[in-house]
Amino acid sequence: MTHCRPILSRRLRPSAGTVLGWLLVLLGSGLGSCLPVQAQPATLGQWSGPTSLAYRAIHAHLLPTGKVMYWQSYAKADFPQLWDPSTRTSSPAAQAGFNIFCNGGAFLADGRLLLAGGHLADNVGLATATIYDPFTNAWSRQPDMNAGRWYPTAVTLGNGDVLVVSGMVDTTVGMNLLPQVWQRATGTWRSLTTAQLLHPYYPYMFLAPDGRVFIAGPAQKSRLLGTSGTGGYDVVGNNRFGSRNWGSAVMYEPGKVLIMGGILGDFYGPTSAAAPTKTAEAIDLTSATRRWNYVAPMAFARKHHNATLLPDGTVLVTGGSRGSEDTNAPSPSPVYAAEMWNPATNTWTTLAPNAVYRGYHATALLLPDGRVLSTGGDHVAANAEVYSPPYLFKGARPTMTSAPTTVNYGQTFVVATPDAASITQVTWIPFTSVTHTNSMGQRLNRLSFTPTTGGLQVTVPASPNLAPPGYYMLFIVNSSGVPAVARTLRLNVQP
């Protein structure tokens, strides 16, 4: 059944989980004057109400302990907090000792978090690097990088090292052109002197199946960066749309990248006041052609949105603005409705709207129970909402009664589950660091498996380029698409 009524004000917010509240906000999000009334959790999912945080979560990291570490911006940056999903409460973490706003983060193979760069002033970065240990709640300073980095991206490599690219040095030097690799074995930096190149703020970077790092955007020209020796680039080609500043990207399968939304304008300044696109593109790096192709567009044009991989292999997009306002300005056209892309069908599904505008400086990440934390954003109070996707309302969850805590490449291990006969997917997703629409290290593997007595035999990828070492959330997903609560596994560095 379809009800048609005028579009209502964008200021409306959903009542506590009511069908009417969802309908009004969906209309206010710009779905149009006619909307099918299907406001059921199994179709649209369900949002929690906002819960207060100590600070706005402009940087967020899911730790192997199960807690989310987050912090705010500018003078409030070095007050990191630990948010517990089970109690929805925060407690202070140890302070890093410097301004950790606008850095790049990547998890090491042992579960510690490496942070590169930081904030001295707008467009002036710190050369500082540090490591946070979630198991001891302690920081350890590392050798400084070659120069400051403000808005760099960090990504874990197949051998457990971490590549750091881009970031502003200062307003005189400009962008840091020199990629550097933090070496796990020595705790020192190795410079890729023959790979110096100008990249934009927070490039979207993913470890490719051949061991190089794919730089998917936001610049129009995408490249593969080799990190051996002194480094080097190969040009892959241009995406179809152009620059996608303030877009978002995910590697939804090894070598397969989706990028969506964003603007043709700059990150900051007069041209950042641009309307975004609803288009999306994908590329398969394992294909002989390696060409960007348009996929189905989103229902809403978006900038400053977040894209989050889900355990069933779909991609959730939340938040963002449809307006042409400046980056730092409030949005006249927030997007509240979430939507989800299914790579198997190349379709987008519009989902339930949240209550709080999540735009510039918003973050989102997957929790081990299959829900998604959506938080942060400017011009809003310090709070968080949790989204339960439709799969959590489609029947009982499968369960895992046991699984190993550490695994090796190429190993076959057993997951004990009474639900083995109904399982159609086994996936894992690494613990990631997210800021400024960029979820660093976000990727998904579909693991091969066979039934066995009392459970499933699951095989780890043989190559660390398909799954870099570190901590993963292991999910089993049944034929109804319902995931189990994840088990945390550590994938050891390949000897």
High-pLDDT (> 90) share of the chain, %: 91
Q: If pLDDT is split at 50, 70 and 90, which confidence band does 327 have? A: very high
Helices vs strands, H then E, count in the chain = 2, 45
Angle at 428 (CA atoms; ends 424, 371), nearest 5 degrees = 90
303-322 pLDDT per residue, tens: 999 999 999 999 999 999 99
pLDDT at 97: 98
pLDDT at 239: 98
What size, in residues, is the chain? 495
Same fold, 51-392 and 397-491: no
9, pLDDT greater than 60: no
Q: Alpha carbon 480 to chain centroid distance?
A: 25
- Got the DSSP string for 67-134? -EEEE-SGGGTT--EEEETTTTEEEEPPP-SS--TT-EEEE-TTS-EEEE--EEETTEEB--EEEEET
High-pLDDT (> 70) share of the chain, %: 92
Reading the block at residue 156, the tokens are: 């874990």
pLDDT at 39: 63
Rounded distance between C-alpha atoms, residue 171 and residue 398, angstroms: 54
Q: If pLDDT is split at 50, 70 and 90, which confidence band does 10 have? A: very low
pLDDT at 412: 98
The topology (CATH level 3) of 51-392 is Methylamine Dehydrogenase; Chain H (2.130.10)
153 residue type, one letter:
T
Q: Where are the domains of the chain?
A: 2-39, 51-392, 397-491
**Averaged confidence pLDDT in the chain:** 93
240-271 pLDDT per residue, tens: 999 999 999 999 999 999 999 999 999 999 99
Average pLDDT over residues 373-387: 97
Q: Quick count: other Cβ atoms within 10 Å of Cβ 418?
A: 12
pLDDT at 26: 45
pLDDT at 116: 98
Architecture of domain 397-491 in CATH?
Answer: Sandwich (2.60)
37, pLDDT greater than 60: no
394-407 pLDDT per residue, tens: 999 999 999 999 99
Average pLDDT over residues 323-344: 97
75-116 pLDDT per residue, tens: 999 999 999 999 999 999 999 999 999 999 999 999 999 999
